[in-house]
Structure 1
Amino acid sequence: MTIVYLKEKFPPPPFDVEVEQMQYFRDLYEGNHENIFPRAQELAKQGQITKSDLRKSRRKYYKYNADKLAQKHAVHHYVIINFASVIAELPADLINRSLGNVSADTENDKELLTFVQNVSYKSKLNQKIWSAVVQHQVDGGVAYRIRRDVKGTWFEWKPADLYFEHEDGPGADIAWIEIRGKENYLRVERQRIEDNQLSIQQLVFSMSEDSIKEEIDIKDYAVQFNLAIPDNQTFESIGELMCGFVPNDETLLIPRGRSGLRNIDVIQEEINWTITRDSIVFEMHGKPKLAIPRALWDNVANKNQKYYGERFVRNADLEVVSYDEKNGAVPMYITWDAKTEQSFNHVKSLIDRMLAISKTSLQAAGMDNDTGGRSAIAILYEWIQSVIKSEAIRDKFDIAIKDALRKCIILENALGGTNYSASDPVIEWQDMLPKAESEVADEEIKKYSEGVQSLETTVRNLHPSWSEKAIAAEVEKIQEEQATDSFSPTFTQPPKANVGES
């Protein structure tokens, strides 16, 4: 059963509730906390925000334009220490660092090797992996779609709120809103498997706010706005969708995944509010105040009443003052001795709990003050919680990237007339944590010496920034030197001599 858009609101049910949650966690990640936290909204209310503008229900959250409201009504004094962004970005940092070489699972098919390398390059795999993992953590999932156009075959990552599976299973819609002038249009790419063949259909609908009005002919739409939209296609040789979805922490009840920021929003608000409360108190009472004798105040106030008709004392009136020689009364500053240690301890305790709930190690979040030199193994054990979490996420992306590249091969065979072997490629994942060059060199040399790793892989790991041509040249040079050192007759001949001559 496909999704019905006509005369319905977008996003379509039952995905609308899920999209509301995504919007909520996106604001949490971006630091737009004044849009989602009640106490921040209450503080904003004191800054002339009307009660009708405040949103306290997550169910109604998606129905309001949070960005415009935040720009129109600035929230004063609300301090945001956004650990939610650290929690979402840390796995992306580790996975982005560990992504290595991507190649086809063959040594003989040079054309397939070149094709897989071109797909990785055109898909900007190394540049896009960080943003894909971050979106995966914030939204609770991320989608991908296979493309083929004038620049070749490639794949792209898509946010989870644009990917909608069909209820009966063998189909999915990738839907997005296009803004043309003052009008909004809903574009849909519908992929569906029927009778062991894949059909890809392009649809477009006119919109009124968040509701779908009517369907428009896709060719007329392309001509009107001068767009290059592919025709509807049917592939008899393809039996799988040219798209996919990567859920995060999915369960049997929530198969599309859950946000990596769940369960920490309340703690994040308490951290913000505790620091904000201290900030407000500091601003109100932290400035030094000048205390003067009563007689001096009366003297200056009486003069001002004589000159201006009102008793008051200005700061300028006290720039030059006299004092009473008999009593020794002179002006003095009063400073506020604030006791904030308990408040700071409370914030630290909240941060520790937030990191524990999100499976983030204290050292990985930058909360460890120990700056001493430690080995990679020692750092690993300190970061172990974050590394284990990131490795689980990496395994999902490993499957997704291999699946996307394999589908690129299938689509190229169907449209490009090739006959490549449609198998999973090989992805070389490196260590997530940095190591000293000496440690890396020792480990790689040991692997090569013990015969568990090839010379080519050793050189590539020692010089990850080198090109394939440079790596091949270095391997050839090392092999020649090894052959020379071994005095092999194949490579090294003894010097010529004439026997019997003086």
Structure 2
Amino acid sequence: MTIQYVKQKFPPPPFDDQLENILYFRELYEGNHENIFDITSLNQDAIATKKELRKVPYYSRPRVEQKVKALESNIRYVVVNFSAVIAELPADLINRSLGNISADTENDNQLLEFVEAVSKTSKINQNIWSAVVQHQVDGGVAYRIRRDAKGTWFEWKPADLYLEHEDGLGADITWKEKREKKEYLRVERQRIEGDKLFIKQLVFLIDGDTVKEELEIREYAAQYKLIIPDDQVLDGVNELMCGFVPNDETLLVPRGRSALRNVDKIQEEINWTITRDSIVFEKHGKPKLAIPSGLWDSVANKNHSHYGSRFVRNADLEVVSYDEKNGAVPMYIVWDAKTEQSFEHVKRLIEYMMSVSKTSPQAAGVKDGKGESAIALLYLWIQSVIKAEAIKDKFDTAIKEAIRKCTILENALGGTNFEIKDPVVEWADMLPKADSEKDDEESTKYERGVQSLETTVRNLHPDWSEDAIQAEVDKILEEKAVNSMNPTYTQPPKANVNDEDDDDE
């Protein structure tokens, strides 16, 4: 049930169709819209002028050729890439909300240090933004667990490099390498058989999109002086050391769908509307010089006698005379364009695009997104926040799974005996808050007993180190202890002392 590569097209079916979609949406995200949309109509003016070139006399051809070059150089396809906003906005919200990652224990210091090392080596906080963007553009993102000289860690991989086996018991992580004008296909194959996990390294010679033959991995490593891990068999491991995070998956499309899948046509219409306006401004927006017909005839006749053709150049009008009797003088005509409807059309298209992609217009900057407080801002951004929260939940699960698998791999290869369980991933609010509002919320949680003092200090000072946080906690506790020691002066009970003894009567 594994994937066969030799003498096959790469990527193999059904991943080849998915790759076409991925490459299409990557071009859309990057703003390379001229590669995916038809813009041939922009060349029509240059093509028509080239046809006219055949009809003009030889002495006029340099002027017409210059006009053709000017037309070709002035072809502009204007791209206002709102597709990038749709993919990057969830990444921005998730990136700012990811907080501390630690082991779910207070007593096992070695496990705490190991999880901290995995998080640091994997650069989770640094790479979460790019992982979410790729997840939105490609329709999914993969991860792979690694153990090398840096330690045990995991890395994010694009969706097109992760090819799962049909029976669900294995997966191939693939990538291409170019060495000495040759291209090779590298494969890390992971396969579960019984209660064992087999990890195998493969290499193939590839030409274009066709795999030629399989090579011996040790010879390949020796030839190019590469360090390639040996094949491994992990006893007692019954899950893959890799995984996949789909986006907007359905029963029919389990590998996920791109977040840009419904906006490409709207994006194309936005580009064309703005491009047409740009062309009109280019042709008519510049002031044009108008001269009397008598002056034009005079200059054209003079050029005809000199060059054999009637024409007027700008240079011919640098110094001119005017008709003193009729007062006819050259003048500039300025075009007064009315483009309000065109701008309104673009605005409507952008709003449609935001609605289809579940993106708040305020978050994208299309509408005013000011709010008096974080709560008011939340209601303006609610659509984008809900979307980002759903994506965050998937990455929360993926990060926990990846670190848990790192623990499994460390136990299998490192001789440790760590408890296998998910770590703790802390997430902050996605929207920024004023310091005063944030301080009040954190203080209220602590005072009501639903949040520890350590968590409160960490949330109030997310940029502090663990030592600084602990020092602040100790300082607060000491001050509370001192303030609780208020001396209470208790008066002795009152006593009645009689001057006369009652018994002496």
Same fold (TM over 0.5): yes
Are 1:21 and 2:21 counterparts?
A: yes
Paired position in structure 2 for 1:66 = none
Q: Greater CA radius of gyration, 1 or 2?
A: 2
Distance 1:450 1:260 in 2: 41
Q: Which of 466, 478, 489 lines up with 2:476 in the alignment? A: 478
* Structure 2: unaligned runs, 5 residues or longer: 48-71, 489-505
Residue identity (%): 72
Structure 1 residues 44 and 214, CA, compared in 2 at 3 Å: closer, same or farther? farther
Judging changes above 3 Å, is the alpha-carbon distance between structure 1 residues 213 and 310 closer, same or farther for their aligned structure 2 residues? Answer: closer
Secondary structure of 1:364's counterpart equals helix
The DSSP-based 3-state class of the residue aligned with 2:187 is strand
Amino acid at match of 1:179: K
* Displacement of 1:306: 5.2
Corresponding residue number in structure 1 for 2:353:
354
Structure 2 residue identity aligned to 1:322: S
The residue type paired with residue 403 of structure 2 is L
Corresponding position of 2:116:
117
Residue 296 of structure 2: aligned partner:
297
What stretches of structure 1 of length at least 5 have no aligned partner?
A: 49-72, 493-502
Deviation track 1:471-491 (CA, whole Å, cap 9, x = no partner) reads 0011111111111111179xx
Give the Cα–Cα distance (whole angstroms) in 2 for the partners of residues 191 and 74 of structure 1. Answer: 53
Q: Over aligned residues, Cα RMSD in angstroms? A: 1.9
Cα distance in 1 between the residues matched to 2:307 and 2:255:
74
Q: Indicate if the aligned counterparts of 1:34 and 1:41 stay in contact, CA closer than 8 A.
A: no
- Tell me whether 239-248 or 291-300 shows the greater mean CA deviation: 291-300
1:362-381 mapped onto 2 (5 Å cutoff): 362-369=361-368, 374-381=372-379
Matches of residues 159-198 of structure 1 in structure 2 within 5 Å? 159-198=158-197
How far apart are residue 195 of structure 1 and its match? 1.1
Matches within 5 A, 1:266-415: 266-305=265-304, 310-369=309-368, 374-415=372-413
Amino acid at match of 1:376: A
Q: Post-superposition shift, 1:308?
A: 5.3
1:33 equivalent in structure 2: 33
Q: 8 Å contact 2:80–2:271 — kept in the other structure?
A: yes
Distance 2:46 2:248 in 1: 40
Q: Distance in 2 between matches of 1:93 and 1:107?
A: 32
Q: Report the 3-state secondary structure (helix = DSSP H, G, I; strand = E; otherwise coil) of the residue aligned with 1:398.
A: helix
Aligned counterparts of 2:393 and 2:135: Cα–Cα separation in 1: 13
> Match for residue 439 of structure 1?
437
> What CA distance in whole angstroms lies between the structure 2 residues aligned with 1:74 and 1:6?
47
1:35–1:41 contact (8 Å) kept in structure 2: no
Residue 230 in 1 paired to residue 232 in 2?
no
1:342 Cα deviation after fit: 1.4
Mapped partners of 1:428, 1:488: distance in 2:
38
Contact kept in structure 2, 1:94 and 1:432, CA below 8 Å: yes
Contact 1:206 1:213 (8 Å CA) reproduced: yes
The Cα shift of 1:274 comes to 1.0
The residue matched to 2:364 in structure 1 has which SS? Answer: coil
* Number of aligned residues: 464
SS in 2 for 1:234: strand
Q: Whole-Å Cα distance in 2 between the matches of residues 27 and 181 of structure 1?
A: 29
Deviations 1:99-127, CA, capped at 9 Å, x for gaps? 00000000000110011010000000001
1:216 alignment partner AA: L
Distance 1:74 1:225 in 2: 46
1:136 & 1:282 partners in 2: Cα distance? 39
Gap change, CA 1:168 and 1:488, over 3 Å in 2 = farther
Q: Post-superposition shift, 1:307?
A: 5.3
What amino acid is aligned across from residue 407 of structure 1 in structure 2? K
For residues 117 and 423 of structure 2, what CA distance do their matches in structure 1 show?
A: 13
Q: Is the 8 A contact 2:371 2:377 kept in 1?
A: no
TM-fit CA distance, 1:44: 6.0
Tell me, in whole angstroms, the C-alpha distance in 2 between the residues paired with 1:246 and 1:44: 43
Tell me if structure 2 keeps the 8 A contact 1:187–1:205. Answer: yes
The DSSP-based 3-state class of the residue aligned with 1:470 is helix
Q: Shift of the alpha carbon at 1:315?
A: 2.2
Change in Cα spacing, 1:383 to 1:373, as seen in structure 2 (3 Å) is closer
Contact 2:235 2:412 in 1 (8 A): no
